[in-house]
Amino acid sequence: MSQHFPALLVTVPLLSALLISIVGWLYKRLCFPIAVAALSVTAYSSVGLLLSVMHEKEILYRLGGWEPPWGIAYRVDHLSALVLVVVSVVGLLNLIATQKSIQEEFPEKTGAFYTLYVLLITGLLGIVVTGDVFNLYVLLEITALTGYGLIAMGEEHAPLASLNYVYMGTIGACFYLLGIGYLYISTGSLNMADIASILPGLYDSRVVLAAFIICMVGVCLKMAFFPLHTWLPNAYTYAPSAVSSLVAPLMTKVMIYVMLRLMLTVFTPVFTFSRVGLSDSMVWLAVIAIAMGAVLALAARDMKRMLTYVIVAEVGYMVGGAWLGNRAGMTGAILHIANDALMTLCVFLAVGNIVYKVKGYAFKDLQGMFRKMPYTMSGLVAGALSMVGVPPTCGFFSKWYLISGGVQAGQYGFVAALIFSSLINVILFFRIIEIGYYEPFGADHGQGSSRVRTAEAPLTMVIPLLIVAGGLVMMGVYTGDIVAHVIAPVVPPALGN
């Protein structure tokens, strides 16, 4: 059983998606339990994979028994095992947390919704687990297509936002496909490990350089790296809250994983950091991304849009950290994939609970919220503290690694941008807390505050939120262990100590 975990990760949700779409016609109530069962299997398998990877270093799964490079191989190392656990756990928690709001928002479409939801998770897990660059493209498109569908189920402007996402996402995927084509011309292989073993003789080839740059442009479009972020704020704001809290933590983070995979495994670190010569410009682009994300978040006029610009800034953190080209920066970037997924999930779940109760996410809807929904707001505060980077939440530790990486590399612009963005986050989240705590709820200002009763979201929504909020602290407390056992083996020795 356990040796088939890599295949189960993809096949179980894929077949369940088919099952859900059939069952959805007849028994709508069965859709949710099937989805939970499928995602529980994936969560169990990915945790099992993480544990066995710690002993064995790397797991190679040959689909259909074909030897790589002819057959498609699934390859799990420490980095992919970590991201697998993040994706499957976030997917499962969000599925349970959003059940009520999905029932309320689309009572007629639950079958379609859960089919797309499970397919999206299939695509994300497949991207992480695959060891073949073309297979990655196909799974990338599965993820993107289901994402377009899910986002378009949202409120008024959602189809337009989703259509803009289709345009940008397709250009991104096409660039990635073109880059692989160039790589295939020069190496004749599509298997990641095989390409990496052929490439050293071709480091001076201009085709390989073009392949690298084209792939990077495509991936940067997909991960919404400023200035290619324009599709993200509208798409994530207008999406249903259950979808926002799924795609916001996972999509951009998995794309960061793809970038790291390309940088570290396909094109080896030697090529990426010493032959391409783009490190400095990428770090400066990340600086601009962080600064612009922070400023645009400050200008946003509702909570969801503000958070989407925070995501744009966070993408800048991870890209910048990865391109610093030293051990601390890379550690920070990888750690931040997990941490950022958790804290984005935390704040978006809290916003989802508020939307469920108040039917709005404008700043004024937050008035008196601390009395009305105390647990939801404490979850939001935990997520906010982590985004600001207050110890012992995990956001502090990844930011610490990123900053020390920036200092070691002498990139003081990056360090300044990180600190600037943290300060802006303080303003952003304390504004929310101020409105929620000090401004009274409802029409009768000044005197009505004592009359506000608690009207908390249902327990199935609050408990997952509090689990995630607790997870933020746990991740922070165990940062040392995670870095030593999971992240340290991933960072290539070429990056020094």
Partner 1 sequence: MSNLLSSIVDNYNYLIYIILMMIGLYAMIAKKNLVKKIVGMNVLQTAIILFYVSIGAKKGATIPIIQHGHGEGAHEMGASVIKAAEYINPLPHVLMLTAIVVAVATLGVALALAIKVYDRYQTLEEDEILAQIREK
Binding site for partner 1 (CB under 8 A): 134, 137-138, 141, 145, 148-149, 152, 156-157, 159-160, 162-163, 166-167, 170-171, 173-174, 177-178, 181, 184-185
Contact between 254 and 170 (Cβ < 8 Å)? no
Residues with Cβ < 8 Å from 57, sequence gap 6 or more? Answer: 77, 78, 489
C-beta of 177 vs 297, nearer to partner 1: 177
Residue 139 or 262: the one with the smaller Cβ distance to partner 1 is 139
Nearest-approach distance from CB 22 to partner 1, in angstroms? 20
**Smallest gap, in angstroms, from Cβ of residue 221 to partner 1?**
12
Using the minimum distance from each CB to partner 1, give the nearer residue, 166 or 380: 166
For residue 247, the minimal CB distance to partner 1 (Å) is 15
Q: What is the closest distance, in whole angstroms, from the C-beta atom of residue 444 to partner 1 in the complex?
A: 29
In whole angstroms, how close is the CB of 124 to partner 1 at the nearest point? Answer: 17
Closest distance to partner 1 from the beta carbon of 83 (Å)? 23
Nearer to partner 1, 181 or 200 (CB): 181
Task: Please report how close the Cβ of residue 138 comes to partner 1 at its closest, in angstroms.
Answer: 6
User: CA-CA distance, 302 to 237, in Å (whole number)?
Assistant: 9
Asked if omega into 227 is within 30° of 0 (cis), the reply is yes
State which residue, 246 or 388, has the beta carbon closest to partner 1. 246
- Compute φ and ψ for 61, nearest 5 degrees: -120, 120
Q: Give whichever of 116 and 319 is closer to partner 1, judged by the CB atom.
A: 116
Closest distance of CB 333 from partner 1, Å? 29
CB closer to partner 1, 184 vs 400: 184
463: which residues sit within 8 A by CB, 6+ positions away?
A: none
Quote the CA–CA distance of 118 and 124 in Å, as a whole number. 10
CA dihedral 277, 280, 283, 288 (to 10 degrees): -120
- Helix (H/G/I), strand (E/B), else coil: 74: strand
Cβ proximity to partner 1: between 175 and 309 the closer is 175
The CB-of-163 to partner 1 minimum distance in angstroms stands at: 4
Q: Of 176 and 309, which CB lies nearer to partner 1 in the complex structure?
A: 176
* Closer CB to partner 1, 134 or 284, in the complex: 134
Neighbour count for residue 495 (Cβ, 10 Å): 18
If the CB atoms of residues 178 and 467 are measured against partner 1, the closer one turns out to be 178
Minimum Å distance from CB 430 to partner 1? Answer: 31
Kindly report the number of other CB atoms within 10 A of residue 277's CB atom: 9
Give the Cα separation of 366 and 237 in Å (integer).
17
Distance CA 452, CA 455 (A): 9
Cβ 474 to partner 1 shortest distance, Å: 39
Which of 67-101 are b and which e, b meaning 16 or more Cβ less than 10 Å from the residue's Cβ?
ebbeebbbbbbbbbbbbbbbbbbbbbbbbbbbbbb
| DSSP one-letter string for 291-354 | HHHHHHHHH-SBHHHHHHHHHHHHHHHHHHHHHT-SHHHHHHHHHHHHHHHHHHHHHHHHHHHH
Within 130-157, where are the H helices? 133-152
Sequence-ordered list of residues with C-beta below 8 angstroms from that of 314, at least 6 positions apart, any chain: 252, 293, 336, 340, 344
- Under 8 Å between Cβ of 186 and 211: yes
Cα distance between residue 90 and residue 465, in whole Å: 11
